[in-house]
Amino acid sequence: MGTTQLLFWLLSALSIFSAMMVLISKNPVHSVLWLVLVFFTISGHYILLNAQFLFIVNLIVYAGAIMVLFLFVIMLMNLNKDAEPQKSIWMKLAGAISGGSLLLIFVSVVRSASEMQSKQALLKTGNIGLIDQLGKTLFSEYVIPFEISSVLFLSAMVGAVAIGKKH
């Protein structure tokens, strides 16, 4: 087993464990910190797949901006106390069972799909994830969606201010 395979298994185990801990933690601040760890491991997977631009964007946007926004809101509302109202044990059991059956269906579909049997994801090589390739495609073929997303950001900003301000 090479270093790449070892890293893949390590990152996968760590990301699944921290995703479970996001659910199990009672304290919302701990959940946010575990979720940051999930994002770090997913960024590690992007590095393994040689998607370097997405690696750095994932770190900056998700682990940096979005999670800091979550932490900010939690601390602003003083929610970091353990007395969170819990659902009843039956509701939790029903949720876990339905999520587990969704997982079961997904896994059985993937295992029986003949198109996916012998396909390999290219690790470490391939230069499509570099910023030069992505930038050329983004600013030649996908320039209209890029500009539309700037309008989306503007409307999200206006919406956040309009919703958040005191009446």
41-60 binders of another protein (CB under 8 A): 42, 45-46, 49-51, 53-54, 57-58
**How many angstroms from the chain centroid is the CA of residue 144?**
26
**Any idea what DSSP says for residue 129?**
T
Under the binding rule (CB under 8 A), the answer on residue 82 touching another protein is: no
Minimum Å gap between C-beta 108 and another protein is 11
> Which one, of 31, 13, 114, 24, lies nearest residue 70 by Cα?
31
Under the binding rule (CB under 8 A), the answer on residue 144 touching another protein is: no
Query: Of 111-140, which residues contact another protein (CB under 8 A)?
Result: 111, 116-123, 126, 128-129, 133-134, 137-138
* Residue 12 and residue 86 in contact, taking contact as beta carbons nearer than 8 Å: no
Compute how many other C-beta atoms are within 10 angstroms of the C-beta atom of residue 28.
Answer: 19
Query: Of 23-42, which residues contact another protein (CB under 8 A)?
Result: 23, 28, 31-32, 35, 38-39, 42
How far apart are the C-alpha atoms of 158 and 161, rounded to whole Å? 5
Under the binding rule (CB under 8 A), the answer on residue 1 touching another protein is: no
